Structure 1
Amino acid sequence: MDLSKHPCFSAKAKEVYRRVHLPVAPRCNIQCNFCNRKHDNLDENRPGVTGAVLKPSQAMIYLKYVLENVKNISVVGIIGPGDPFANPDETMETFRLVQKQYPEMILCTATCGFGIGPYIDELAEMNFGHVTVSVNAIDPEIGSKLYAFVRHGKRTLGPKPGFEVLLEKQLEAIARLKAKNITTKVNTVVVPGINDGHIEAIAQKMAELEVDILNCIPLHPNNESNFAHLKEPSDAFMEDIRKKAGQYLPQMTHCERCRADAVGLLGEKNSKKIMRKLQQCAEMPEIFDDERPYIAIASVDGRLINQHLGKAEELLIYGKKDNGGVYFIEARETPKPGGGKQRWEDLSDMLSDCRTLLVTGLGDTPRRILSQKKIDILELDGTIVEAAEAVFEGHSRNFMVQRDIKACNKKNPMAGMGCGF
């Protein structure tokens, strides 16, 4: 069990290592009585809220930006704003993309445990690092007071039968996660007057299942929830509960009740710059089933294709809208000159998600290296929008292709330049 780089599992790591949560999972299959489902919120620092919901392809654009602008990110997680496995397609697609593009990252998720079962084998194959399962009771009489309903397939179950199915799925999931050697944490929300006298029993049961760590979280009274009238337990009260639970399992004592879009150190608020980028990414058209969905463009002014690759300090990246138009994604800084062949190797890696490069010219070495990486190279004159739309739609670009005058008339290189030759 390596907890050294996961801030949620290690009090020491939280001072150094940062995490990013990708909010791709808005739906939930249970209704907790302490939860408010209104997840669109920029201010509150609690689970279940986010500034925007992303599709998997949008999440990858956002993740790239975060990793370039926030240091020491060690963990990429999905914790909502609903339940990740009430949104299994979005969750698993995002994890697959992250693992492929950033294999060094720790992958992490937090779930009620209800829907994770069918995906545990694949998570293990992905060398998935850490899973948190929320277990708030093991007694049906207590559990039925914590949940309004549970959706099981097409059925909506009431508090008691719903909880019984939920608990069965939770215990099964935890046992299978541990059998696959996946580090497992259990979160337990402490609700005064409901389950506060039950925490020790939960801890004992989780210890039997060989859970790695227990996180007792004080109730956060959420407006418009069924438990909005209850008060948050005091620090002294929580300290006593953790002491009792600590007889059975190691305790997490530094939880900050993270947002579904949290970025940075635990307890650190998202910057306005990060939040703007999150919302911008959520507005981008989704890109489906294409490993190379973008094109790269060398431009001096952001309007025309008018720059030689060797002089480009950055390349503009464009994607295709669902309606056939194009949209600007980002500017990527090119490798610095002076690296010889390695400069172009690095550039080809940087453009691994681009199908085409549009420039006014380039040398033989970058042409050869980029072509080997299956990046189509076009030397064009024209506007970015017109050329990009033509590339994406497969239309003719002959009217924009630059002509190699010297190649056309080696005897008279001035021919065709309007000089009368």
Structure 2
Amino acid sequence: MEESKHPCYNADAHHKYARMHLPVAPQCNISCNYCNRKFDCVNESRPGVTSEVLTPELASQKFSWVKENIENLSVVGIAGPGDALANWDVTRKSIELIKAKGEDIIFCLSTNGLMLPYYAAELVELGIKHITVTVNCLDPNIGARLYKVVNYEGKSYTGVAGAELMIQNQLKGIAYLVEHGVLVKINIVMVKGINDHHIPEVVKKMKELGVFITNIMPLIPAPGSAFEKFPQTSMKEINEMRDLCQLQMQQMRHCKQCRADAVGLLGNDRSNEFRMTKPEPEKSVFLAKQIGKEYKIAVTSKHGKLVDQHFGHATEFLIYQVNDKSFTLVERRKVEQYCSGASECDDSDSKEGRKNAAIQAIEDCNAVLTMRIGYHGQQRLLEHGIVSVEYCYTVEEGLSYAIEQLTMKKAI
């Protein structure tokens, strides 16, 4: 069966088979309060992020390139960076061009489901057997807190009206897909205090509709989104909810919340190796700023060039001394990694010692510069007077940005 080779639908497959996402769909027809689709973040891994947006022709060329170099490629998906069905013409053309190559490949796509009643029949006719729909609630009052704007048939809907329209179309489209043999996966973003109590009801309804699997994901407070100050949902809370909902139906537990241009195994994104276009470097606007004092900043980096590592994944911190004129690497401090994967990054007592050791290792620093850090980690560091700065480009650019953040906080 095809799902045996789809890494998202089969936990055993994600160590064996690779997938690639084609970023051909930049437009979105809704505005979610938890989303900020920053297209050019080269190192960050979350939905809606890509280093390039491709035409169908370039997407077809990229597929051939990846297929030649990754023998275990089994899946081609379209997951944005906007919504696949809000860009249906380019989505369909991209799939058709690749299907014409005659390769043995599985096609899938992700959508918010708003346009499913329009395109579900075409999806079935096109032979798409795996479709992911993000359904965060069934109650329009909850939806009104999650969705800012819903754009549909030339009109914009907000509040309960927009959420109600969204939910109706999602349920209608999912029912059609399941009836016509499509394996449907449901993504649910868990936002504490808004939809967390409601998730078991969503899962129950999806089971009634015949959905294949549900995937409960943590809120990632994206900078620039309406929910950027919300606490990130911990993996302990996610796994407790998955355990509860497992009584209803199968739960996905190995999701990596992938980029819109992800390539390779779920746990080993190789998108940087397969760019069709050259990214333009971001410009530093802070290097000439006179900061007036020295700062000590800890950096998490895999190889010392990019800010490309999560705080909990670090096995060493690069310690930089920063003054008015220069950035100087003065020390490397080894630590024991306390988070070895999304399913293990929880708040269990067994990891407390390693967390405390990581914080103690940088107690003399003013800030930590990292690709990502959870809300609870940020708060723990603040208790020690350490500011967390999230960034996703070169170390030099990141240090400049960190200086700006420290200067602003000092001024406040």
TM-score normalised by length of structure 2: 0.66
**2-structure distance, mates of 1:4, 1:98:** 21
Q: Which stretch shifts more, 196-205 or 240-249?
A: 240-249
The amino acid that maps onto 1:123 is L
Give deviations 1:239-277, integer Å, cap 9, x for gaps.
Answer: 1111111121100000000100000000212253313xx
Q: Which residue of 1 aligns with 2:208?
A: 208
Task: Kindly report the root-mean-square deviation, in angstroms, between the aligned alpha carbons of the 2 structures.
Answer: 1.6
Are the counterparts in 2 of residues 135 and 186 from structure 1 also a CA contact under 8 Å?
yes
Match of 1:149 in 2: 149
Specify which of 264, 277, 280 is matched with residue 279 of structure 1. 277
C-alpha distance in structure 1 between counterparts of 2:100 and 2:114, whole Å: 27
- Asked if the contact 1:258/1:267 (under 8 Å) is kept, the reply is no
Q: Is the 8 A contact 2:38 2:50 kept in 1?
A: no
In the TM superposition, 1:105-184 aligns within 5 A as: 105-184=105-184
Q: Deviations over 1:323-353 (max 9, x none)?
A: xxxxxxxxxxxxxxxxxxxxxxxxxxxxxxx
Residue 269 (1) aligns with residue 308 (2): no
C-alpha distance 271-119 of structure 1, shift in aligned 2 (>3 A)? closer
Gaps of 5+ in 1: 283-421
> Is the CA contact 2:149–2:162 (under 8 Å) kept in the aligned structure 1?
yes
- Is residue 35 from structure 1 mapped to residue 54 from structure 2 by the alignment? no
- What residue is the counterpart of 1:222 in the other structure? 222
Change in 2 beyond 3 A, CA 1:250/1:55: same
Alpha-carbon distance between aligned partners in 2 of 1:102 and 1:21, rounded to the nearest angstrom: 19
Q: Are 2:60 and 1:55 equivalent residues in the alignment?
A: no
SS at match of 2:268: coil
Cross-structure match for 1:26: 26
Q: Which position in structure 2 is the counterpart of 1:96?
A: 96
Distance 1:4 1:95, change over 3 A: same
Deviation at 1:103, TM superposition (A): 4.5
Moved more, 93-102 or 187-196: 93-102
Answer yes or no: is the 8 Å Cα contact 1:58–1:281 preserved in 2.
Answer: no
CA contact (8 A) 2:262 2:271 kept: no
The residue type equivalent to 1:262 in the other structure is A
Residue 180 (structure 1) shift:
0.8
Task: Quote the offset at 1:118 in angstroms.
Answer: 2.4
SS at match of 1:101: coil
**Alignment of structure 1 residues 9-408 onto 2, 5 Å:** 9-270=9-270, 272-275=272-275, 278-279=276-277
- The question of whether the paired residues in 2 share the 8 Å contact of 1:187 and 1:216 is answered with yes
Structure 2 equivalent of residue 398 of structure 1? none
Residue 280 (structure 1) shift: 5.3
Which amino acid is 1:216 matched to?
I
What is the distance in 2 between the residues matched to 1:190 and 1:59? 32
CA distance in 2, matches of 1:260, 1:37: 10
Distance (whole Å) between structure 1 residues aligned to residue 60 and residue 2 of structure 2: 26
Deviation string, structure 1 residues 124-153 (Cα, Å, up to 9, x no partner): 223222000000000111111001010011
Deviation, 1:183, is 0.5
Q: Which 10-residue stretch deviates more, 56-65 or 97-106?
A: 97-106
How far the C-alpha of 1:61 sits from its partner, in A, is 1.0
CA–CA distance in structure 2, aligned partners of residues 153 and 254 of structure 1? 36
1:281: how far off?
11
Q: 2:129 & 2:51 partners in 1: Cα distance?
A: 26
- Report if the CA contact (8 A) 1:56-1:90 is conserved: yes
Structure 2 letter corresponding to 1:178:
V
Farther off after superposition, 258-267 or 151-160:
151-160
TM-score by length of 1: 0.65
SS in 1 for 2:274: helix
8 Å CA contact 1:124, 1:180 repeated in 2? yes
> What amino acid does structure 1 have at the position aligned with 2:86?
A
1:393 corresponding residue in structure 2: none
Cα displacement string for residues 41-86 of structure 1 (whole angstroms, at most 9, x for unaligned residues): 2111000010100010111111111111122000000000000011
Whole-Å separation in 1 of the counterparts to 2:98 and 2:182:
18
Q: Are the aligned partners of 1:30 and 1:150 in contact in 2 as well (CA < 8 Å)?
A: yes
Instruction: Give the secondary structure class of the aligned counterpart of 2:227.
Output: coil
Count how many residue pairs are aligned between Structure 1 and Structure 2.
280
Displacement over 4 Å in runs of 4+: none
Contact 1:25 1:90 in 2 (8 A): yes
Q: Which letter maps to 2:178? A: K
Give the corresponding residue for 2:340: none
C-alpha distance in 2 between matches for 1:40 and 1:145: 28
Aligned-residue offset at 1:123: 2.0
Q: Secondary structure at the match of 2:11?
A: coil
Measure, in 1, the Cα distance between the counterparts of 2:132 and 2:102.
21
Task: Report if aligned partners of 2:7, 2:266 keep a CA contact under 8 Å in 1.
Answer: yes
| 2:269 counterpart SS class | coil
Q: Which amino acid in the other structure matches residue 135 of structure 1?
A: V
**Which moves more between the two structures, 265-274 or 64-73?**
265-274
SS at match of 1:188: strand
Question: How many Å apart are 1:39 and its aligned residue?
Answer: 2.0
Aligned match of 2:345:
none
Paired with 1:179 and 1:256, the residues of 2 have a C-alpha distance of: 29
Q: CA deviation at 1:234?
A: 1.7
SS of alignment partner, residue 184 of structure 1 = strand
Greater Rg over alpha carbons, structure:
1
Contact preservation (8 Å) 1:26, 1:87: yes
Give the drift of 1:232: 1.4
C-alpha deviation, 1:16, in angstroms: 0.3
Match of 1:343 in 2: none
Percent identical across equivalent pairs? 43
1:341 is matched with which residue?
A: none
**Structure 1 Cα separation of the partners of residues 227 and 221 of structure 2:** 6
Maintained 8 Å contact 2:178/2:184: yes
Cα distance between partner residues in 1 of 2:278 and 2:123? 30
Q: Which amino acid aligns with 1:122?
A: E
- Report the CA distance shift for 1:117/1:98 in structure 2 as closer, same or farther (over 3 A): farther
Judged with a 3 Å threshold, the aligned counterparts in structure 2 of structure 1 residues 103 and 172 are, in CA distance, closer, same or farther, namely farther
